[in-house]
Structure 1
């Protein structure tokens, strides 16, 4: 908004006290208003209208690529879908016209690549949690090292220094958290019904 973001301690965007602010020293540009509204005078982005997205075209492409790779491997069709996705995002074709997509991947390599493409494309759209549960990788992802942020400090000479800091430790219990518990009121209605594991 016509100035640099200041997420160092005491900066305009991390003033301290009870003000809601970043815990990681990062803010995201995604979902903010168009550049014209952000650069207006006085700057304002809070009145920006957003459509509620039920299903994204990029999601359709990624679902198709994932399903095709699982059934037929990394076919030309899978590669073409990934090219279309990256072209749509404004990524340049590159000297070999592959949009930065590695060639001659195995099915496992392509699976990992598609998972990462989905992580990037759908960032902050509330899909990651459901994706890693569906892929059965939630226990690995959630139980990895704590999420990191930065502690930024501004010296008296105007130089920025930073140290990585943990900001959130997540836990995922496997297999318990892959299934939700069935409400007790429903379980007791049928003597043959069994509760989901470890609930």
Structure 2
């Protein structure tokens, strides 16, 4: 156990583990599996990138008219899973979902590369696509529509924040006697802590 593992604050422990992953993982240490539910109650999961973290929660961005956007708006509860194979660690996080402010969405959108901003206009995310040529034509149309550097954020594109109510920090251990440390939001504030059998 490292000093960071002794933290009683799940956000501090998450930041410590993420910092270690950023130093060792070759690709996208901020990648996380986002799990939602379909309107008829089936699980639905995909990889997204963590783009913000503060005392409230974990922020990611998407087309809110996409499949995941619709699922989050219909049932604003979700789960995240970070898995860092080289560190033999994972973190599960569960909680409620809220939309980030328009100002937060604008600020992040402005940092995206030009083609990513144009892609937000060109892609009707999650909807059927007849051919790659259709997407490329839509991108050319967006380039003609916005020839300058200033590309406004589409109204349907923005961020969500997961407000955690539960964390599980999982560390691989020899002979599958893994360490599982849990944090649950306490009704009066703060966190209750515990462990689970591997």
Greater radius of gyration (CA) = 1
When normalised by structure 1's length, the TM-score is 0.22
Q: Which has the higher contact order (CA 8 A, sep 6+)?
A: 2
